[in-house]
Amino acid sequence: MKPANFLKFCLLWLLMTSFSTFAQGVQFEAGPWSDVLKKAAREKKLVLLHIDSKDCSQCVEVATVGFRSPVLREKYNLNFVSYRINPATPEGAEVAGRYSIANGPVSLYLAADGSLLHRFNASTTNAIQLSEQAEIALSRRNQPSLVQMEREYTAGNRKPQFLRTYLERRQSVELDTEEVLDVYVKSLPADSLRSAPTLLFILERAPVLGSRADSLVRRDWRRLDSLYRFGLRGRAAQINTGIINKSRAKAVRTRDARLAFQTANFARSTHTRDERRGQYVFEWNMLHFFRESGDTARYIRAAIPFYELNFMSVKVDSIARLDEQDRQNFLRSLSQSPGSRSAGYAPNPHGTRLSQSLNGAAWSFWEMATEPDALERALVWSKRSMEFLSHPNPSLMDTYARLLYKLGRRPEAIEWQTRAVEINRQQGMPSETFSKALAAMKAGTLKPGQKN
């Protein structure tokens, strides 16, 4: 199964299908987008714009179940005009494009003028989580309009205080801040870059490596080192992660191998006390760049030694012992502090993380690799990913079945995919995607990249 969807299917499945249609949750508008904002303004409501995934039907199914929850009915229908689009359609692509979104799943919470108030980058069946997203948007409804601030910026307002507020608003809804941050830094008096609060504000905006803001911040390395040591108060890792993520995203977007290397090297430098971990994050960042920028040959060439060294050498039994120890610690914490935590299963972090990583690597080979040797290697990874978990996972089985199919082992693939469908249904999860893949396997038409 596609790695981006693996965690979504580890969420608790909330079954709400016993409720009748009139009792179900969010009501979505059926008309054109142009009418949605007008209705929101007329009724003095906010807007929920949910953008479905155009290539992940499981994500669509998950969102449908989540939004049907009666728990959401009052909060959403009283406060929001809701609209749902498929970015693969002409209108869906046009509406999503206004917010620079090529594909979902993502839920945008908007003011009636189209200003972005909040963004939720997922689909989920968890009605409580969806209710929380609505609350975040409602808490921001009286903030200055982002649309108005964009107009003011376009009109030439370069006052530092306005730019600070504008940067904070853009960052709060995950809009790009690189250009505005460079403009802000340019607007400052030269001596203000000696001010710790100003430097901290710039760092908290996660300047892209090599940008004007980044260069100015790092010009006085002694001052910067002092800030990291004494001024960030435990926020250094969070700030560095933001810088790495934004720089890596730009490198992919612009196909900039130099920036990708610079980003990977910066990531490595944040682990000076653990050289092995530093090398790991360097290689992982480069792998991400090769994959996302479409450099298939370099990705496959680098991925094989990376996953063999860092994942296949790990013993399943040792991970099982760590997970059991975590489970016992969790149970002890419940008995020592009754009522302080909600009852439930203990997390399975070690096995789950390893399983997810290997499944993601195997899936990428299903999508990208063509050589039998590479596909056989991915098949071993996929099988190992299932061994780290104590229960059958249909998403992992789906990946394994697809690799078998691509290797020409069609009867085995059909057998594994049939099991994935059956287990998925037993667990109460949507089975449409797995069923479509099974049908395509039987017909001999399954291909990477298809909507199945």
Predicted confidence (pLDDT) per residue in 150-184, tens digit: 999 999 999 999 999 999 999 988 888 999 999 99
pLDDT (0 to 100) of residue 22: 39
pLDDT (0 to 100) of residue 331: 57
pLDDT greater than 80 at residue 417:
yes
Predicted confidence (pLDDT) per residue in 26-64, tens digit: 999 998 998 999 999 999 999 999 999 987 777 888 899
Cα 202 to Cα 218: distance, rounded to the nearest angstrom: 11
pLDDT (0 to 100) of residue 428: 77
pLDDT (0 to 100) of residue 10: 46
pLDDT greater than 80 at residue 254:
yes
pLDDT (0 to 100) of residue 2: 63
Cα 183 to Cα 177: distance, rounded to the nearest angstrom: 10
What does the pLDDT average to over 292-316? 93
Higher model confidence: residue 141 or residue 17? 141
pLDDT (0 to 100) of residue 257: 97
Residue type for position 201? F
pLDDT greater than 80 at residue 5:
no
Which of 294-298, 350-354, 367-371 shows the lowest per-residue confidence on average (mean pLDDT)? 350-354
Cα 24 to Cα 126: distance, rounded to the nearest angstrom: 14
Quickly state the pLDDT bin for 224 (edges 50, 70, 90). confident
pLDDT (0 to 100) of residue 342: 37
pLDDT (0 to 100) of residue 335: 54
Is residue 117 within 8 Å of 46, Cβ to Cβ? Answer: yes
pLDDT greater than 60 at residue 7:
no
What does the pLDDT average to over 363-387? 96
What does the pLDDT average to over 316-332? 66
In the chain the first and final C-alpha atoms are separated, in Å, by 10
Cα 171 to Cα 436: distance, rounded to the nearest angstrom: 39
Cα 382 to Cα 394: distance, rounded to the nearest angstrom: 12
Residues in Cβ contact with 262 at an 8 Å cutoff, skipping those fewer than 6 apart: 209, 210, 247
% of the chain exceeding 90 in pLDDT: 61
Quickly state the pLDDT bin for 443 (edges 50, 70, 90). very high
pLDDT greater than 50 at residue 356:
yes
pLDDT greater than 70 at residue 325:
no
pLDDT greater than 60 at residue 4:
no
What does the pLDDT average to over 252-262? 97
Quickly state the pLDDT bin for 339 (edges 50, 70, 90). very low
Cα 122 to Cα 118: distance, rounded to the nearest angstrom: 13
pLDDT (0 to 100) of residue 299: 97
Cα 28 to Cα 31: distance, rounded to the nearest angstrom: 9
CB atoms under 10 Å from CB of 386, counted, come to 18
Residue type for position 422? E
> What mean pLDDT, rounded, does the chain reach?
86
Quickly state the pLDDT bin for 192 (edges 50, 70, 90). confident
Is residue 96 within 8 Å of 87, Cβ to Cβ? Answer: yes
Q: Any idea which residue has 């409501």 for tokens?
A: 45
Cα 145 to Cα 325: distance, rounded to the nearest angstrom: 50
As a dihedral over the C-alpha atoms of residue 272, residue 274, residue 280, residue 286, rounded to 10 degrees, the angle is 0
pLDDT greater than 90 at residue 244:
yes
Residue type for position 250? K
Higher model confidence: residue 389 or residue 20? 389
Predicted confidence (pLDDT) per residue in 102-157, tens digit: 889 999 999 999 999 999 998 898 999 999 999 999 999 988 888 899 999 999 99
Exposed, middle or buried by CB within 10 Å (0-12, 13-18, 19+), for 416? buried
Q: Partners of 314 in the beta sheet? A: none
Quickly state the pLDDT bin for 8 (edges 50, 70, 90). very low
pLDDT (0 to 100) of residue 333: 57
What does the pLDDT average to over 333-354? 53
What does the pLDDT average to over 95-106? 90
pLDDT (0 to 100) of residue 338: 44
What does the pLDDT average to over 204-214? 94
Residue type for position 21? T
Cα 219 to Cα 174: distance, rounded to the nearest angstrom: 27
